[in-house]
Chain A
């Protein structure tokens, strides 16, 4: 009974204030924190890992399509293989990002360690896709644990993007599945991001 009254009230409000009650982009009972393109999806003070195909769309989804240039960066992208392409994004989206261009796995880990400890920008994307598979497998597990401890100290969200699972201490691990074709290059980004399938592999939420 009460639910029906509330629904009736909502309907009346929608009719009276259509702009304020416009349809939310999130449908189907999803909340913002259930979208991997919302920073809140990844737990604070922990390492998360995103694997699979369509990792570029993860960066696209996180940066979004802002209309104005951001005065301060919201994300740091530690680019292990120096493969980020600024020309694939608008200047407004790029202004939300600090791009750290690395050449080797050692540089990538050292730079990440510095940035996680700094914690001025508490969302760090670590892109390991450009690192050779042999170098990537040579990263000791202790390095990831060390980063995890640093992230916990700085209350930093560290998201590792890699082709295959490699972070043993990842609190959250999700696999992306983007079946992309040439025809997708013509589609709007919003559609592509919405189409991306996210499969949670490990969801160990950190209480905080």
Chain B
């Protein structure tokens, strides 16, 4: 199944973007770029396109300007905007890429889509495509050229056409086929009014009189030929960006914006048979500020929903402080088979779900709160690292052994206390804890253990003396003295 997408007024739309003051008025674009002030000298030029308001007055594309001005004296004649047309076509292609990567740009306002690899759910999006606040017309057919012809006639819009249905359309539609304009006057002279009249002519006689081109048209209208599309090559870069007309602050509109970007992204991924390894997002904020986030996926993904889920989690946890005026999305790709499941390696049952959960935990607890702990190699207190818990290979830090057998329940931050100690200035010996969460006489001590580090750098040098102590109530704790006079409890042994 194929589909044709068509923007009937793309030329006028592009021209109107250049002169927004003419919105709502009858407008037309001439075939050639002329100076609007010199219209009177160019009155015989034909109209290239008209908008709905002009069409309501009875004029249409192809009319000479002088005749159109007689019918509609208020007609605004706009200069063509080729750059704007190209931009609209690019947007149309981007929107269509969300449905299928197999696209042919047939004309500057018409696309052909191959729906053979597209699910019915995706194909249903044809009716909802929106480009520049307008909805392109679409038609489906068994062959691409049938769809291309039918989309030019309003009675077929939104439908699936067959050779039988197309027979009722006017023969003038052949004008949109290559070399159609040359034979059309002859066919009209023969008295043919509809495509059905043409289709009923014997093919062999038609070919012998008009040449092989007429025979191929005959086959085309009967749905006997189904050519391959001349596929539109998507841009090499996966990067996309979007500027918002109004700054967005809520999560929901941003999700919609990401959905739109992911439509095109997934089509590009499918066209190149690659998968996403990491999403790189840049939020452009008001006053020119911007910040970037990177989402690494546990396994390569290509599905739109699977890519959107981690983005939604990110957006839920996002606190930008100001509204977003635009966003950019780029991806790091890899082969889809790069991380397929291996029978002989232990893996998480649902790594994509694990990734979501980790992102939700980060949103709940903040960054740096979840991970696989790695003890320090130095003796600096509480100097640990957290490795990401999403399946990255853990660092091999073999060689570190804990100082003693009992695990410490560490206070964060450490609890400063007042300690009664003997008066030795360099190595005070604790006798009792006077304040803090654990108080009492110290019955037994183990130590002192002297630790220091970074002595070569006065800015970061540290030094402490530690004791393991037992209080009168049998609590075991680690006490530390930091010169010149600070005592802290590092934690309890349990």
Contact = CB atoms under 8 A, between A and B. Distances in A.
A binds B: yes
Given A54-B494, A120-B349, A99 B407 contact: no
B349 A86 contact: no
A35 interface: no
28 contacts: A57-B407, A69-B396, A70-B394, A71-B393, A72-B391, A82-B412, A83-B409, A83-B410, A83-B412, A86-B384, A87-B375, A87-B383, A90-B375, A95-B372, A98-B371, A98-B372, A100-B361, A103-B365, A107-B365, A111-B361, A111-B364, A117-B357, A119-B349, A130-B409, A178-B494, A180-B406, A185-B404, A185-B468
A90 B391 contact: no
B209 interface: no
B401 A90 contact: yes
Q: Chain B CB within 10 Å — which of A83, A88, A97, A100 has the most?
A: A88
A114 interface: yes
B354 A85 contact: no
A102 interface: yes
Given A90-B401, A101-B369, A184 B410 contact: no
Interface range on chain A (Cβ under 8 Å from partner): 35 or more
Given A95-B394, A114-B357, A120 B407 contact: no
Interface in A115-141: 115, 117-121, 129-130
A185 B468 CA distance: 9
B408 A114 contact: no
A73 B398 CA distance: 17
A92 B354 CA distance: 22
A84 B373 contact: yes
Contact of A182 (B370, B371, B444): B444
B405 A192 contact: yes
A56 B372 contact: no
A60 interface: yes
Contacts of B426: none
B346 interface: yes
Contacts of A118: 350, 353-354, 356-357
Interface string A149-172: 000000000000000000000000
B181 to A, nearest CB: 65
A208 interface: no
A120 B353 contact: yes
Given A56-B407, A92-B398, A180-B476, A87 B494 contact: no
A128 B483 CA distance: 34
Interface of A: 53-57, 59-60, 69-73, 82-92, 94-95, 97-103, 107, 110-111, 114-115, 117-121, 129-130, 178, 180-182, 184-189, 192
B402 interface: yes
B491 interface: yes
B403 interface: yes
B470 interface: yes
B386 A114 contact: no
A86 B350 CA distance: 27
**Smallest CB-CB A-B distances: 10 pairs:** A86-B373, A88-B407, A91-B397, A56-B407, A185-B404, A56-B494, A118-B357, A86-B384, A85-B410, A120-B354
B347 interface: yes
Contacts of B493: 56, 180, 185
B123 interface: no
B244 interface: no
A182 B357 contact: no
A129 B494 CA distance: 11
A103 to B, nearest CB: 8
Contacts of A192: 405-406
Given A115-B357, A192-B406, A89 B375 contact: yes
Contacts of B391: 72
